Amino acid sequence: MSSKQLEVQILQQTYLLACPEGQEARLLEAVERVDTAMTRIRDAGKVRARERIAVLAALNLAFELGDQVTGGAAPLPPATEPANAADAATLQELAARLDDALGSDGQLI
């Protein structure tokens, strides 16, 4: 299956993403969800580091997705700061893993 490149903005930063042909609308919808989640966390004012915002948004979106799949409770409210040192360490590790996954080209897909 062939793919194309889409230029998108998430939290006012531009990314060039690979996208399978015919999936552009789906990718743009996902970008909108991520941008909205990250903007909500940033605008709450307690988290400024982009990588922390990304991790918190990813966790919130994953939690919401889990609820859709399992029919669970309402989504978590936007997170602000880790509850304790262990949570902070876990979030730092997740942020490092996200950085590694993104690599230097910034491609998410």
> What are 16-57's pLDDT values in tens digits?
999 999 999 999 999 999 999 999 999 988 888 999 999 889
For residue 19, the SS3 value is: strand
Question: Taking the mean position of all CA atoms in its chain, how far away is CA 35?
Answer: 8
- Residue 107 inside a domain? The answer is no
Q: What is the pLDDT of residues 55-97, one digit of tens each?
A: 889 888 888 887 766 665 554 455 555 556 666 666 666 666 6
pLDDT on residue 77: 52
pTM: predicted TM-score of the whole model, two decimal places: 0.61
* Measured distance CA(28)–CA(23) in Å, rounded: 9
87 domain-assigned = yes
Residue 90 lies in a domain: yes
pLDDT band for position 108 (cuts 50, 70, 90): very low
Q: Which residues contact 42 (CB under 8 A, 6 or more apart)?
A: 11, 48, 53
For the chain, what is the domain count?
1
Look at residue 47 in the predicted model and tell me its pLDDT. Answer: 85
Residue 101 scores a pLDDT above 80 = no
Residue 99 in this model has a pLDDT that exceeds 50: yes
Tokens linked to 42: 């940033």
- Domain extent at residue 53: 3-102
> Whole-angstrom Cα distance, residue 86 to residue 97?
17
Q: 33 CB contacts (<8 Å, ≥6 apart)?
A: 61
